[in-house]
Amino acid sequence: MKIALYGTRIKKENLPWLSDVYDALSSYDVELYIHRGTLDYLVELKQVLPSYIDVYDDRLPQDTDYMITLGGDGTILRAAELAYRDNVPLVGINMGHLGFLAAISKENIGHAIDILFKGEMTFEEKILLEVRCPSMPERMIAINEVAVSRKDSSSMIAIEAYADGHYIATYRGDGLIVSTPTGSTGYSLSCGGPIITPATQSIVLTPVASHNLNVRPIIFRDNVKVYIKVSGREDQYLLSLDSCFQPMNWDEEIEIFKSKYTLRVAKMPQEDFFSTMKEKLGWGSDERN
């Protein structure tokens, strides 16, 4: 089996858990690869690496079976850029904070690797959003959300939004979020958006600090194409796809739609969406009882 490791700047206190990953994988017949950026960082910290490990750069090794991420949800968002094109499943080991996507706790590494190699790991298929804009020749994808927001000013911006060619509204405020079910428990939720269960085939438009009291989040089927025009007093607005940001000029209009690609993300067999909600967000808890 061919395994690719990916991490960003792993905290020093989490480095001992990396040895647990090596030990767990050494029990199986694997070809192990590590991303060059991760390797350079670990070498900088004088970390000892397994002798059988190899290196990859901007493309995963051919026929990679799984990509194991070492970090939090942000690490998975960055790893997705490498994984989705080749339909390689992500197995996230949570060395961050929240861990909604990186669902495997670092204390549970050995058990999780065993489950993976026994073929008992379950995977959720995540829809991806894609952005089309004439000024962006390369495909850009998002797992959580695509958002437009004001850039260098406290002045509100105006966002005209259309769905399949039909005018929805002009949102005046700080921005607008187009979120997947995966992203509904993130930025969209913090702005008053609804929680959407993973299997729901929908996306949600959530205004950010809207100055219109008569607009609220709105849910569409995920096959909708959202078209956005932005205007304001400054020279540019900000387009963000998960953790990737790009300044845009006012005349750069964007179209957002469900990508033909999906992303498979591991979760432990006994876990479900609501138990994760309860653990990570305190869903349904009542301190009065």
Residue 55's DSSP bridge partners are 34
CA distance 215 to 111: 47
Query: What sign has the CA pseudo-torsion 26, 27, 29, 30?
Result: negative
Q: Which amino acid type is present at position 131?
A: V
In the block, tokens 């929240």 appear at 98
- Active-site residue, selected from the candidate residues 29, 73, 174, 272: 73
Other C-beta atoms lying within 10 Å of the C-beta of residue 35: 24
Dihedral over alpha carbons 154, 146, 41, 95 (to 10 degrees) = 100
**Exposed, middle or buried, 18 (CB in 10 Å: 0-12/13-18/19+)?**
buried
- Are the CB atoms for 130 and 140 separated by under 8 Å? yes
CA atoms within 13 A on the CB side of 135: 10
3-class state of residue 238 by DSSP: strand
Instruction: Mark whether 222 is an active-site residue.
Output: no
Other C-beta atoms lying within 10 Å of the C-beta of residue 90: 26
Element at 202 (helix H, strand E): strand 202-208
Distance (Å) of CA 128 to CA 18, 109, 141, 153, 183: 29, 27, 6, 30, 10
Active-site residue set: 73
